[in-house]
Amino acid sequence: MLEVGIDWGQKSPNAFAILAENGKIVKKGSVQRSAEGAQQIIEQIKELETDPQQVRIGIDRKNDILPHILCSEGYVVYPLNPLSADRARDIYYPAGNKDDRVDAEVHARMVRNSWRNLRALRLDDDKDREIRSLLRNRNNLVDMRAQNKQRLGSVLAEASPNISGLCENLRLQWVKDFLRKWPLGQDFAEVHGNTLNAFLRKHPRISEATKRQICSVHKQPCCQHQPRSAECYRLEIHTLLQLIASLQQQIEVLEEKIKDLAAEHPDKAIFSSLPTDSDNTVAAFCTAFGPDRDEPYGWRNYSAYYGMSPITEESGKNKQVKMRLLDKTRVKEERVKWQVLNVGLPILLIIVFGMIKNYLRRRKYSQF
C-alpha cells in the first residue's frame, strides 16, 4: 500500500511525496497544475504500484482538476482540511517552517495514519457539475449587475440629485424608461406637462403617491450642467443602463437553464418542499450534497470533507462594516455635560469620600 501526499499550489507547482509501506519517502517532486501534471504523478505512482486501489492520495484541495483526474483513474483521493494539515505539520515538524515539499510529506503521513477517519472524494455526475457551473456563472453576473447599479446610483446622485431620489428602485420598468428619456434633471425640467402625463398613462402601475412625487420633482428647480458635461453624464448613464439590461438578460437565460436542469434532478421533489420559491435555491440544494446523498454521515466528517472551501476560498473575501457616525449637533450640545461627568464627578466623589473618612477618623480618636 502506497500513500501519496500532494500540496496544492495555485501559482507554484504542486509538490508530491510518495510514502512506501515501510514509512519511508521513496519519491519526491513537483508537477504543474494541469492535466499533464496529473499524468506525470500517475506515471510516478505506476512505477511503484500498478493497482490504483492500493494507493491512497491526500491533497489539500477538493475542487480542482488534479483530484478529479486522479479519481477518474480509479485512485482513492482524500481531501484534507488545510487547518488539519497545519496542525499535522506542527506534529511532524515542530519548527513550523512552511515548505511545499514538507507539506506534501505531511499529507502522505496524515493519510497513512488517519485514512479511516477521512472521507474519500467521489466525483459528481455530469448534471450536478453543469448545474453548479451555471449557478457560479449566475452569481458572478448578479455581482456585476449590483456593481453597475451602484455606479449608476453614484452618477445620478452627482449629476441629478432630485432624479436620484426618484429612481432608486432600478427593478421597476418605469424607472428604466424614465432614465432613458430624461437622464438629467435639466432634461426632465424641459418636458411639457402633456408629455409627462402621457408617460404616466403609459405606466398605469405607478402608484398615486409616486405620481405626485414625480410631478413635484418636475416643478422643482434643478442644476444646469454645461453642454459637454451634460453630454458626458447622459452617455455614462445610458451606457450603465445598457450594461444592466444586458446582464439581466444573461441572468434570465441562465436561470431558465438552471430551472430546466433542476426539474430533471432526482432530488428536486425533496428540496422543493423547503420554504422557498426560488428555483436557484432548490438547484443549489440539489447539488450541495454531491454523490453521498444516499450515505449520510456525522457532522464532524461532513465538516472535515467540505470544510476546506470556506478556508481556502471564502476567507479571502473582505467584508466592510460601516461604523455608525456620531450626531455632531448632539455632540456639540452635550459636550460640556459629558466633560463635567467624566472629569468633575470622579473628583467630587474622591473629595466626598475623603471628607467622610476624615470625619469618621476624628470621631473615632476624639473619644480618647
* pLDDT tens-digit readout, 91-109: 777 766 677 778 888 888 8
pLDDT computed for residue 243 by the predictor? 94
> What H or E segment, with its residue span, contains residue 67?
helix 65-72
Find, among 70, 73, 76, 82, the residue nearest to 8 by Cα. 82
Which stretches of the chain score pLDDT less than 70?
A: 95-97, 289-327, 367-368
* Res 298: pLDDT: 55
Grid look-up 450515505 returns: 295
Question: pLDDT at position 279, please?
Answer: 84
Q: Rounded to an integer, what distance in angstroms lies between the CA atom of residue 82 and that of residue 96?
A: 14
DSSP letter for 9, please: -
Per-residue pLDDT, 312:
36
Give me the pLDDT at residue 303, please.
47
The pLDDT, as a whole number, for residue 119 is 78
pLDDT in tens, 204-230: 888 888 888 888 888 888 888 898 998
Question: Order of strands, edge to edge, in the sheet holding 2-7?
Answer: 25-31, 14-19, 2-7, 55-59, 76-79
Q: What is the DSSP letter of 190?
A: T
pLDDT of residue 251: 93
Map out the domains of the chain with their CATH numbers.
Answer: 2-117 (3.30.420.40), 128-288 (1.10.287)
Q: Which of 279, 302, 272 is nearest to 289 (CA)?
A: 302
List 16's β-bridge partners, or say none.
6, 29
Q: Look at residue 306 in the predicted model and tell me its pLDDT.
A: 43
C-alpha cell at 38: 496529473
pLDDT of residue 236: 92
- Predicted local confidence at residue 168, as pLDDT: 83
Q: Beta partners for 30?
A: 15
Per-position DSSP letters for 12-63, written without gaps between them: SPEEEEEE-TTS-EEEEEEE-SSHHHHHHHHHHHHTT---GGGEEEEES-SS
Q: Which H or E element spans position 19?
A: strand 14-19
Q: For position 304, what pLDDT does the model report?
A: 46
Please give the single-letter amino acid code of residue 133.
S
pTM assigned to the model: 0.58
